[in-house]
Amino acid sequence: MFKKPLIFLFMLFLFAVSAFAGKDGSSIQVKGSDTMVNLGQAWAEKYMEENPEDFVAVTGGGSGTGLSSLISGSCDIAMSSRNIKDKEIALAKQKGINPFEVKVALDGLAVVISPANPVNKLTLDQLAGIFTGRISNWKDVGGKDEKIVILSREVNSGTHVYFKEHVLRNNNPNGKEEFTPSALMLSSSQAIADEVAANSAAIGYYGMGYISSKQKTIAVARDDKSEYVEPSIENVLSGKYPVSRPLFLYTNNQPQGLIKKFVDYALSREGQEIVIKTDFVPVKK
Amino acid sequence: MRKLKEFFVEKLIFICGLASIFFVVLIFLFLTKEGLAVFKYVSPVDFLTGKSWYPISEPAQLGILPLIFGSLMVTLGAAIISIPIGIACAVYIAEIAPSKIKEVLKAGIELLAAIPSVVLGFIGMVTLVPWVKTVFHLPTGLTALSGSIILAFMAMPTIVSIAEDALYSIPKSYKEGAFALGATHWQTIYRVLLPAASSGIVAAVMLGIGRVIGETMAVMMITGNAAVIPQSILVPVRTLTATIAAEMGEAVVGSEHYFALFAIGIVLFIISFIINVTADLFLHKRN
């Protein structure tokens, strides 16, 4: 009996809060990629320290969530760890939104295994084989006779999409390769890190920021004739590490006013230093 | 003045009473509106019997058979674990336990019901998953079995409290009659009380299962979410609920993926509706 009115009151409260938040002229909403949420938060904090009269709210939810909020007009800046899709651009145009892309940082995707696993290096083709299910035993890539446990992020993750397009499909836009259906879909990078640390047969991938001593990173080569490269800031910057991706901010039209101020701050020297501090790679030196 | 107050309170309560039905109808209409749109892209048969779930590929493959099997497998496992324990627990509380132990047990079970599912999921991830992995020598402990065990814990409070209620409401004369005929305590429970309370117990089981099939967070954390049709209970599965929760964030509003997730919602709604109606039928049979 008492529950319903309470929920109703709560909803009223939410409406009221969102109405007020929307009216305030000097606030911006930033939403999107979970990979970038810490980075966005760090920018917002420093930015608000310097501009106390402005308010920047940062929330996660996944690249797709951010872009669909931008399209529906419920956020001002979308953070995305993948390029916007043609479908999303078309949908945005329908609603009178004109997405504008700004590249703000680079991220290397580390492929990780347990330190107990003897494998150290793999080629892109071997990686694609493992994640599509073509290679299912570690002994085929120089490890123990053990079934490979494949860990992936959920499909709401820009990391998932990037890994599929650039590793599984090897940058071929018409590729049909998919993650093997037996791949375990975990809901966060931290969950992958934990499972890899505990499971000697597991392999997973995530942004460089999540690397710790409990996992071992794999050196990756473009093909078996090239050099095997460890994921590190220098190797991503020089372009040697083959699995790295750009991170974007999307705005409606060219950024203006407060939004421009914030985007400019992200690209400023100070903003790019924050990029390094949060374990990403800056676009400008 | 008093009359006016009475009038308002009455109306207010009336509106509150209707609100829940109103919300259910609204939710159902919304689900149907958004969910049926998916059948522009895929036929109902392909949707329900398709074996591949690749919602963001071009073209998207929207077959939810592995997800249905995933949900059924986890639910079946949870039912097998929770029903015997739950009913036995209810019998013990209602018939055997001395009143002091009874109070403690009842409080404990209510406490179990109050644990948030994300906490159970987290505990399962840290303790149960590694245990399942070592005991069964599996490549990974993120399996349907882990999900079933945790979900059994969540179904148990519902089963115990409703079954205990059913046992409690059997007229005293049944028991006295059985004793008078020289039946032992166990014979009385087994031959008289359980059959007499059977409709209430079935309702308890159905409601427990209803809770299991709708559970999301804990399953998402510990079943591995791999969309394959499970061959045994020791492999990772992906459930209907976890799919909606994990993918709703990404789905572009108005895309076939978005509609497909709502269609999964309809499937879930229908399943829990059937379970609830069955439970209700059994509950009313008793009265």
User: Residue B47 — very low, low, confident or very high, per pLDDT cuts 50/70/90?
Assistant: very high
List % helix, strand, coil for chain A (3-state, nearest 5).
40, 25, 35
Residue type, A247: L
- The contact set of B with A (CB < 8 A) is 13, 16, 19-20, 52-57, 66, 125, 130, 133, 139-140, 142, 220-221, 224-228, 235-236, 238, 246-255
Structure token pair of residue B241? 């609920």
When the pLDDT of each residue in chain B is averaged and rounded to a whole number, the result is 90
Confidence at residue A82, expressed as pLDDT on a 0 to 100 scale: 86
Residues 6+ away with beta carbon under 8 Å from B203? B162, B166, B279, B280, B282, B283, B286
pLDDT at B81: 95
Percent of chain B residues past pLDDT 70, beyond the cut: 99
pLDDT at A38: 86
B283 vs B92, which has greater pLDDT?
Answer: B92
- Which of A41, A69, A105 is closest to A246 using CA atoms? A105
Higher pLDDT, B249 or A226: A226
Q: Which pLDDT does position A2 carry in this prediction? A: 41
In this prediction, the residues of chain A whose per-residue pLDDT falls under 70 are: 1-25, 284-285
| Arithmetic mean of pLDDT, B181-191 | 91
Mean pLDDT of B65-82: 94
- pLDDT recorded at residue A10: 52
- pLDDT above 90 (res B238): yes
Provide the ipTM. Answer: 0.74
Q: Which residue of B has its CA nearest to A3?
A: B16
Q: What is the DSSP string of A82-102?
A: SPPPHHHHHHHHHTT--EEEE
Is B233 in contact with B245 (CB distance < 8 Å)?
Answer: no
Q: What is the pLDDT of residue A81?
A: 86
Q: What is this structure's pTM?
A: 0.77
Q: Can you give the pLDDT at residue A125?
A: 92
Cβ contacts (< 8 Å) between B253 and chain A: which residues? 68, 71-72, 91
Q: Looking at CA atoms only, how far is residue B160 from chain A in angstroms?
A: 23
